[in-house]
Structure 1
């Protein structure tokens, strides 16, 4: 990202769009207004002092000083600030009034009072708040007025008045020099303020971007100074470290909490060695066991020795890292398994066909038993191959087709009755309470999920009435749900953690792809699947329940 800078040779008039909003010029405007009020008060005070001292006074000079006080106060109170671009109202009400007043006082000069230095005020005001033409024009007007006064004095008193002409010329020259220098300084001030405002805007934008990036990082971030004070954190750091990190007021001492003492020690090592550090540290949690965290530190670069370096600490939960690695390995394994499954199908079909042909010519029961074993194991291998290929297809088809909406209760009833008839299972109860609930789900995919869950339930459930129960309902979030409950023994915690992972099964003769395929199909349709151990009634037995929460029928979801 690049930002353009002002050209140093830019004319004052080209900054018109900025000068009206310049806070520096506004402060100068207020300063000039205050200076005019002060000069007006001094002039009136000098007239009063001369009167007290008994000097001859001119009523016109007193009236002119009083009028100048009133004009200065009114301009300071009501005149709005805007850059002076020419001989207009702003110039006449301020600079014009000053030139006329000071010239009139100079003409009515009484005693030894010299009003010439006062011309510096309107000249500076025109040079600073106006364009170059306004500044030079105001200076030229003041110089001409001084020369005109010297000429008038020569006409009134035709003596040796050359000193007055020389004084007027020198004063005019000095005013031109002051005007040029003041104008250049004002231009530089305005340019630098414009650049500063643009740089401040860029810095604010970069700060907002940095804050957004840090806030959304999956890694935890802590910014620590050399004294061990934490100056910035992000939500990921609070999730990893816990212990109420987000509720602490910044800055706070990292070593104040005993669980974070190893982090503070690592930050201290980073500052002492001036090199990045990396370490895996167990961090105690408010609840549960300690969490293994990979900690990496970096020092910020400083451009001068007066700026203190900061230690930026990156925190990464090793469990999430291991989960990502495991997911990548499983994806690679799935691709390899799909390729192997394709290669197995043809020889497997040949084995099945050859076994069937061989069984037609066998008479010996022992030989027939052997061919039956071959056919049974070939069928088992065929099911495993189909499961592997189903998983591959489910992962490749990431976009959910529109399909058709299905009414949940009648569809579940039909599919459940088909399974009961095919499996010849007794004691299955249906409790369908999602009346009128439509869901967007492929019927064949729902059949595969329901059959898989019912097969698992039948493998571990008892034989009594109600040992397997199929229910539907609408949960508190308004999503239709399907639940398969069975009275089987509780699953071990190690089994629960890996229930929906591929190739994991507590049965030696299972491929371990059934529940994983169910999860893939649910995610494809925007549904969620889960497991919990619960009872269906306060007095009933505990059982294993698998539930599917469907997405709304109107929403088309993509994975």
Structure 2
């Protein structure tokens, strides 16, 4: 931090200085006019004393009006001129009053001290030198012209020495005070800088933070917490009761009742999003606060999925070759056997079963490899209102199935890898259309997209009117290799769930009206940080 040559002064001190000037001028003039002090004050040149006092009062009042303390605060030249004028007038009054013996020299000491306080460097010493030379010169002139005693000259010399001592002492003292103030200001500015830096870090960090006092009032909430909790960022929540914005108060009360060995809570919002909440104690001296660390459970699940997929990739790479070679040999031999003329019709049926299951095992291997070989997620912001009609058109061109699409009129922005979303919807629509055909005879499915209530996030629902899913199977439908269809591999819904999770979306089964089956994809906020 660079220091200017003439730093601004304290406005209050400058105001006091200007008022004192006026009061001293009025006092000196009043003493001369209304009492017997005229025998001392202005004893040598009374008219000069009166006119100098009146001039001093007028100039002081004028500068107080024209140059208020705020103006003098940043004007070094005006301050130097004012002090020079003060000392000059005091020297004139001292001369008109007969020299040092009048006692006005003490006022010059006051003004030299004021000059040392407000002015840095050799200029303050220059005021003392100027006053000392004029006082001693006036004493020498009076002694030569009027044959005064030498003690007047001695007193003038002592006064000059006192002026020098006063200027040096006050300048050293003022410099020490100024240095201390500068150090305090530097430390204060650095502390403020650290506070702003910490505030900026807390505001922009990915983990949501909410600080709550003992009364349940929010003292701090960062932008990530607002985003994760689906709260409007335009509103201030400082000093708001925690229970007014969400059901977090129950989690905090439960944790405060038994803070030991309490795992992080998984909190489901009204939009279906899941966040992981970890309370902690923040001690501030004798006081303590409760800090809620909020993380997107989908992001944590996404990281776990990456590790899982990496392990699965290494596993499938090692077994794919060992399984595919004998499987290919079995399939090839079965095809040759089927073409033989010596095979009976019953044996041909057995060969068909062998080929059917070879194809099923091969499909399982392909699905598993599609997970392990998946490329890095390439997300982009997509408007579902524009993207879904294109998907439906492409899907219906390549599949003998019909999709009834309904999209809300709102802008439905999501951040997603469109190749993953296309794969998920294709799989869900294939399953839905197949089961719908079994129940109604029509190979069709309903696709609905809209925005969540009280949130800026979107969702997609895939609905079919098939036989539905038994309640006993709902907990297992997303497990790998779990299927209720004799021809299924049990990897379709599992892959869809995996693809949604690595895109920070949530796929789940939703109970629908009239017994229909509904799979819903809840997307995270499109402005999320990957």
TM over 0.5: yes
User: What SS does the corresponding residue of 1:152 show, helix, strand or coil?
Assistant: helix
How do 1:313-328 and structure 2 match up within 5 A? 313=291, 315=293, 323=301, 327=305
The answer as to 2:379 corresponding to 1:385 is no
Q: Tell me the CA shift for residue 136 of structure 1.
A: 0.9
User: What SS does the corresponding residue of 2:399 show, helix, strand or coil?
Assistant: helix
Partners in 2 of 1:173 and 1:184 — Cα distance? 17
Shift of the 190–510 alpha-carbon distance from structure 1 to 2, 3 Å rule, reads: farther
Partners in 2 of 1:181 and 1:485 — Cα distance? 91
Q: Tell me the CA shift for residue 504 of structure 1.
A: 6.0
How do 1:392-541 and structure 2 match up within 5 A? 392-396=372-376, 398=378, 409=389, 412-413=392-393, 415-416=395-396, 418-420=398-400, 429-431=402-404, 449=424, 451-461=426-436, 463=438, 468-470=443-445, 484-491=462-469, 510-518=488-496, 532-534=510-512, 541=514
Counterpart of 2:517 (choices 534, 537, 544) is 544
The answer as to 2:281 corresponding to 1:297 is yes
Partners in 1 of 2:367 and 2:314 — Cα distance? 14
User: Which residue is 2:246 aligned to?
Assistant: none
Tell me the C-alpha RMSD between the 2 structures: 5.3
User: Which residue is 1:342 aligned to?
Assistant: 320
Shift of the 293–190 alpha-carbon distance from structure 1 to 2, 3 Å rule, reads: same
Aligned length: 491
* TM-score, structure 2 as length reference: 0.72
Q: Tell me the CA shift for residue 373 of structure 1.
A: 2.3
Counterpart of 2:15 (choices 16, 24, 30) is 30
Q: Tell me the CA shift for residue 350 of structure 1.
A: 2.5
Partners in 1 of 2:309 and 2:324 — Cα distance? 21
Partners in 2 of 1:258 and 1:558 — Cα distance? 29
CA contact (8 A) 2:313 2:371 kept: no
User: Which residue is 1:188 aligned to?
Assistant: 176
The answer as to 2:133 corresponding to 1:144 is yes
User: Which residue is 1:81 aligned to?
Assistant: 72
Partners in 1 of 2:509 and 2:128 — Cα distance? 89
User: Which residue is 2:97 aligned to?
Assistant: 109
CA contact (8 A) 1:469 1:486 kept: yes
The answer as to 2:308 corresponding to 1:330 is yes
User: Which residue is 1:95 aligned to?
Assistant: 83
User: What SS does the corresponding residue of 2:239 show, helix, strand or coil?
Assistant: coil
User: Which residue is 2:330 aligned to?
Assistant: 351
Gaps of 5+ in 2: 244-248
Partners in 1 of 2:372 and 2:91 — Cα distance? 97
Partners in 1 of 2:187 and 2:11 — Cα distance? 20
Partners in 2 of 1:285 and 1:523 — Cα distance? 16
The answer as to 2:191 corresponding to 1:203 is yes
Partners in 2 of 1:368 and 1:340 — Cα distance? 34
CA contact (8 A) 1:398 1:524 kept: no
Counterpart of 2:349 (choices 339, 346, 369) is 369
* TM-score, structure 1 as length reference: 0.69
Q: Tell me the CA shift for residue 449 of structure 1.
A: 4.8
Shift of the 495–139 alpha-carbon distance from structure 1 to 2, 3 Å rule, reads: farther
User: What SS does the corresponding residue of 1:488 show, helix, strand or coil?
Assistant: coil
Q: Tell me the CA shift for residue 187 of structure 1.
A: 2.6
CA contact (8 A) 1:83 1:129 kept: no
Shift of the 445–534 alpha-carbon distance from structure 1 to 2, 3 Å rule, reads: same
Q: Tell me the CA shift for residue 130 of structure 1.
A: 2.0
Q: Tell me the CA shift for residue 476 of structure 1.
A: 7.1
The answer as to 2:121 corresponding to 1:132 is yes
Partners in 1 of 2:406 and 2:241 — Cα distance? 55
Q: Tell me the CA shift for residue 67 of structure 1.
A: 1.6
1:144-194 per-residue CA deviation (whole Å, 9 max, x = no partner) reads 121022112202321422x22222222222221221122223333333333
User: Which residue is 1:70 aligned to?
Assistant: 58
Partners in 1 of 2:210 and 2:481 — Cα distance? 36
CA contact (8 A) 1:399 1:558 kept: no
User: What SS does the corresponding residue of 2:219 show, helix, strand or coil?
Assistant: strand
User: What SS does the corresponding residue of 1:222 show, helix, strand or coil?
Assistant: strand
User: What SS does the corresponding residue of 1:335 show, helix, strand or coil?
Assistant: helix
Q: Tell me the CA shift for residue 139 of structure 1.
A: 0.8
Gaps of 5+ in 1: 7-14, 268-276, 301-306, 421-427, 536-540
CA contact (8 A) 1:526 1:558 kept: no
User: Which residue is 2:239 aligned to?
Assistant: 249
User: Which residue is 1:42 aligned to?
Assistant: 27
Shift of the 36–52 alpha-carbon distance from structure 1 to 2, 3 Å rule, reads: closer
CA contact (8 A) 1:441 1:525 kept: yes
Counterpart of 2:219 (choices 228, 232, 253) is 232
